[in-house]
Amino acid sequence: FHCCQIHGGMPLLKRIEAEREFYEHIPSIMVATEAAGEGINLQFCSLMVNYDLPWNPNRLEQRMGRIHRYKQKKEVMIFNLVASNTREGEVMELLLDKLKEMRTALGSDRVYDVIGEIIPAPSLDALMKDWLARRRTMSEILAEIELQTDEHQIARIRADMQDKALGSRYIDMSRLAHMVQQSKERRLMPEYIERFFIEAYRSFGGTISEIKGHKGLWTIGRVPPEIRQQSEAQERRYGKVGQVYPKLTFSKEQLGDYTDVEFVGPGHPLFEAVVERVLREFGPALRQGAVFYNADATEPTILWLIKSGVEDGRGQTAGERLFAVHYAAGRYRKSQPYALLDLKAPESPPALPDDLNAAAVDEDAAIEWSLDEVVAPYFGEIEGRRKRELAIKEKYVRKSLQFLISESNKKIAKYDAQLRQLPPGDDPNRLNIQGNRAKEEVRRNELTHRLAVRLAEIEQERHLSEKPPEILGVAVIMPLPAQVMAGVGGMQNDPEVEAIAVEEAKKYEIGQGRKVVSVEEENCGWDLTSLKGGEVDRYIEVKGRAGAGDVALTPNEWIKAQRFGEQYWLYVVANCKTKPELNLIQNPAAKLVPREEVSVVRYVVAQGEWRKAAVAGSSVEGTQEVGS
């Protein structure tokens, strides 16, 4: 074993080096004093031996928190060694036995969450000092600890834990799982964040480079002064931008067990500083609009970026989302903003027909359609969620505050009973009890007022209103010129072929006992969502070929394939116009090596490549391997 150490005589930098040394050498042992009890993250380690226990039980919990924390992947084992044949050991042994009893009584491993209530740290410290100073005998100290954990206290702590868990009893787990899945589908992928940041940062004169041999890890030697200059509000909200960033990443998965890598994304001061400058310098251009080419387009399309929001009665935002709305051939449809990622900017903007120009500036028509088809459904979604959340919130507020008011009333009644037993006059005991009663009455009035205020706030939060939809930007999307398309195999788009391919994919999924939901028009990065038992089983991208040949994936599709891994499937349907042949490829990002076709912003997979990775699909007989 490699051995390293941390103790109070070491400066901060030496401690950081020791932490890194402990991580880098496997196997390794760290020997540490209480100096390592907090402030360091050792979640890459899963075994702890406490051979000198602190008197303060909260310190023991803090020690455990060094390894039993976020990103710990293993079961944690902690051994507390006690020399039971010593006076101090007697106290520690009794304390640990009490924790074990409390765990059994509470029926929960959350005993360490309430350790301070079981044995208050100041009390234990004082008891140990009394023993050392010979002010109390050991038998008195042990009896005192016994008194700290009676049945009344156990009942009170259990009730408190039940109150805190009130919300969890009303969680709809299936709905929660659905929301998590939706969040995974809609969230800004790290790949998008990375791509945006690097391009924007470099456009402002910044230098960022990938660390050699460490894919996904980047370094910034010096942040330009103009990016570091922030408004006071920006700095107060997100923090100060650093001068250098030796190691940074845009993906949480890339953090691994590193302790010296900075995670950059929305909310990080550097990221927000770049966003703020982008909006300041390029915001007007976004609203002015732009023209793009789309390799899959068969007709001109107008795309609006529309922000929709919901506000509650307290003036707080209850929800906000960015939508994309497409308009083509007299028809509107809702889409996702991801559609912009698959477009190519022309070297010089082409001339647009007058009718297309007129439609692109007709914001009123786009907003009018959005009110019914985008804003109203989104408002209903937020309203339903808010209604469920506030019902739980109100129940918890009433239960918790009414319990505290009831406890306060009991104390006041107890003081009144004590006062009735005392003779009249200015007896010191009477004055003391009267003072305590007055304080408790003030506290009860504060609790009653707080209950009224919180219930009034909850009522205001129930009243929702739609915020006017706001158009943030507009784009005209044109089909690629024929001469460009002719030079790229696998790119010719035939709506009839695509429709046949999608029907073949649906037929196969239904034959396998799965339910299919089409999201073709939403530009999600896949065409079909396949459900099994009500849960997402597959994200399916369908590619159809009239005969055979190469297939092309958009940047959005390729990124989603990388992100969803085993859940993402590529269905290639060959010979669509004669005898459709379904080929299935699970996790195409791991099995295919496409060539990047920069001229059309696509990833092209050669026919031999996808055939080698595919298995044949039959809606009746299941799948069988295709020989390479």
Q: Tell whether omega for the bond before 27 is within 30 degrees of 0, i.e. cis.
A: yes
Q: Pairing state of beta strands 301-312 and 464-479? A: antiparallel
The angle subtended at Cα 436 by Cα 433 and Cα 438, nearest 5°, is 110
Do residues 472 and 306 touch, judged by C-beta distance below 8 A?
Answer: yes
What pLDDT does 259 receive? 65
Q: Tell whether omega for the bond before 353 is within 30 degrees of 0, i.e. cis.
A: no
Can you tell me whether residue 527 is helix, strand or coil? coil
CA nearest neighbour of 563 among 528, 531, 520, 526: 526
> Which parts of the chain register pLDDT below 50?
166-167, 619-628
pLDDT one-digit tens code per residue, 562-595: 889 999 999 999 999 899 999 999 999 999 988 8
What is the C-alpha separation between 57 and 118, in angstroms, rounded?
10
Helix, strand, coil shares of the chain as percentages rounded to 5?
50, 20, 30
Kindly report the backbone phi and psi dihedral angles of residue 136, in degrees, each rounded to the nearest multiple of 5, phi listed first.
-135, 155
CA nearest neighbour of 113 among 58, 37, 47: 58
570: β partners? 541, 585
Residue 165 buriedness (CB in 10 A; 0-12 / 13-18 / 19+): exposed
Q: The tokens of 45 are what? A: 């380690």
What is the C-alpha separation between 117 and 119, in angstroms, rounded?
6
pLDDT one-digit tens code per residue, 237-284: 888 898 899 999 998 877 765 667 888 999 899 999 999 999 998 888
Q: The tokens of 9 are what? A: 């005589």
- Which residue bears the tokens 């509000």? 233
- Which residue bears the tokens 């400066």? 11
